[in-house]
Amino acid sequence: MRSKYIDNTVIGLSIAFVVLIFADFFMAEWVRFIGLQSLARGAVALGLLILWRSGLVSFGHALYFGFGAYAAAMMTLIGYRDAFLLVFVGTAVAGILAFLLGFLLRRYRGIFFALLNLAFSMILYGVIVKTEALGSTDGFSVLTPTFLGYAPKGEAVQTTLFLFTLAFTYIITIGAHLYLKTTLGGMSMAVRENEIRVEYLGYSAERIIHVKYVFSGLVAGFGGAIMAMAIGQVDPDSMANWTVSGEFVFITILSGIGNVAATFIGALVFELIRTYAFEYAPQFWQFILGGSLLAIIMFLPEGIWSLVARLRRPQKAPSP
């Protein structure tokens, strides 16, 4: 082992981070917008990946995504518009909600866990739709963010927001990667494979799941807050509806759970497929989206990351 912390994933992520910083200044506006959305959705998928590693799938993470987005957007309603503050609030409230609901959800597995999440997310959706003050189904617009006093204008807003998002996403992703290598992170496997054994080793499987659940809530809230600022608008159908949860699961399947970097590649591929499908086949874009999911499941059951893993495997020496 070279180092306890630096490995190929950390190096790869760091290179991608630096490259994207420079690319930010040359990107076409629509590319940057797709990039921003990919980072936001990828962050949510990262949370789902962490849950998935312990065998849990959530069909309701639009709950935390929407909660984070609306919390950030509501801050601008009362006059706060600093991006750091908005992201902090969006992430924190989603994390607190995940912590509280976690006490209930950590007792469920499989389909019950998936659908209980869905149920909670639809409660949030219902509340938003019924609340006139939050614009009901139309939502409301979000003020252009400032960055610690710096108030960019025009294209500079998105350029700065992209850098801002990139930096946070980088930190979160490296953190998630290192976390998965810790004992606590590694216990995902143990919980997925055999909870009885985990209990008889003296550790609570439910506590492990709760930690993961809070993490997934935090990053989903983060993704929601970023999305609210990127689009400049929040509305229930693109923030809190069950279809949004479905997109996150879609991205996670597309990416595979082999590596934290995969979720961002998956999110980008998802955005590209959707954008182009909508552009060239406005009547059939959902058909194309569904078709690509089917193709992934049939030909790459372990997701896009299995392509990378396949490239690397032949060079890997058998472990000593």
Partner 1 sequence: MTLILEVSDLNKSFGAVIAAQDINVTVHEHEVIGIIGANGAGKTTFINMVTGYLKPTSGQIKFAGRSIVGLKPRDITVLGIARSFQVPQVFASETVFDNLLMVYAIVEESGLGLLAPLYNDQRAERVDAHLIRYKIADYRDANASALPQGIRKLLDIAMAAACKPTLLMLDEPTSGISIDEKFELMDVIMEALRQDKTTVLFIEHDMEIVERYVSRVLAFYQGRIICDAPVAEAMVNPDVREFVIGEEFHRTRTQNDNGAGENNA
Where on the chain is the footprint of partner 1 (CB under 8 A)?
Answer: 1, 4-5, 179, 181-187, 189-190, 193-194, 196-204, 318-319
CB 231, min distance to partner 1, A: 35
Comparison of 195 and 235: residue with beta carbon closer to partner 1: 195
CB of 206 vs partner 1, minimal distance in Å: 10
Based on the number of CB atoms within 10 Å of its own CB, is 257 exposed (0-12), middle (13-18) or buried (19 or more)? buried
Whose Cβ is closer to partner 1: residue 97's or residue 214's? 214
Tell me the two tokens of residue 275.
Answer: 């954008």
| Contact (CB, 8 A) for 144 and 157 | yes
Question: Could you count the other beta carbons within 10 Å of the beta carbon of residue 4?
Answer: 8
3-class SS of residue 140: strand
Amino acid letter for position 26: F
- Choose between 174 and 184: whose C-beta lies nearer to partner 1: 184
Q: How far is the CB of 193 from partner 1 (least distance, A)?
A: 4
196 forms beta bridges with none
* SS3 at position 233: strand
Please state, in angstroms and rounded to a whole number, the distance separating the CA atoms of residues 65 and 261: 20
Nearest approach in angstroms of CB 285 to partner 1 is: 37
Smallest separation (angstroms) from partner 1 to the CB of 198: 7
Nearer to partner 1, 167 or 189 (CB): 189
Whether residue 36 contacts residue 158, with contact meaning beta carbons closer than 8 Å, is answered with yes
Q: How far apart, in whole angstroms, are the C-alpha atoms of residue 113 and residue 125?
A: 19
Smallest distance, partner 1 to C-beta of residue 266, A = 23
- Nearest residue (CB) to partner 1, 149 versus 202: 202
Choice between 99 and 203, CB closer to partner 1: 203
* Residues 309, 10: Cα–Cα separation, whole Å: 16
